[in-house]
Amino acid sequence: MAVMDNEDIVKELSALAHLDIDAAHAYDQALKEIDVEEIRGELSKFRDDHERHVDELSNLLRGLGQKAPEYARDFKGYIISGFTAIRSATGNEGALKAMKSNEKMTNRRYREAAVLDLPPTIGDVVVQNYDDERRHLEYVVKALAEKMWKAKAGVP
């Protein structure tokens, strides 16, 4: 497979940046309802990872002579944030379940991008971001399985 042309690379990087923008906003929604400090701390780091991804992808886009995306939700982002807010309103468990759904989506999208024939410097960033996404999902799944919010709050 030949290396992607610039137009396709720009589309891919823009799509990933928008995905990360939406994910960061979703984390903001979930964090409003998390009251277990350990979980809150981890989810805050994950939101920061998504913001860093946006910065990195934006820098790559500028390096290709393109504008970075505006740091605002698109229509899909409003849907994701709304879903996250509704699920999170039930507390820690609902917020974690919402983030699990969101992280499954970001993992799927980054997995697809990680196998594209991107130029090495761009491909490296995509793979590193995908590694972050896998770590996020792994933590959220573990937090749900272990019912961390109950253990930390002393709830049986």
Q: Say which CATH topology domain 6-148 has.
A: Ferritin (1.20.1260)
Three-state secondary-structure class, residue 65: coil
- Contact present, 22 and 79 (Cβ < 8 Å): no
pLDDT score for 3:
61
pLDDT by residue, tens only, the chain of 156 residues: 556 789 999 999 999 999 999 999 999 988 988 989 999 999 999 999 999 999 999 999 999 999 988 876 565 554 555 545 555 556 788 889 989 999 999 999 999 999 999 999 999 999 999 999 999 999 999 999 988 766 555 555
Query: Could you give the CA distance from residue 149 to residue 121 in angstroms, rounded to a whole number?
Result: 39
Position 78 scores a pLDDT of 46
DSSP output for 85-150: HHHHTT-HHHHHHHHHHHHHHHHHHHHHHHTS---HHHHHHHHHHHHHHHHHHHHHHHHHHTTHHH
Distances (CA, A) of 22 to 73, 82, 97, 105, 134: 6, 11, 17, 11, 17
Angle at which helices 92-114 and 6-31 cross, to 10° = 170
Token pair belonging to 75: 């229509």
| Residue 128 CB neighbour total at 10 angstroms | 15
**109/114 Cα distance (integer angstroms):** 9
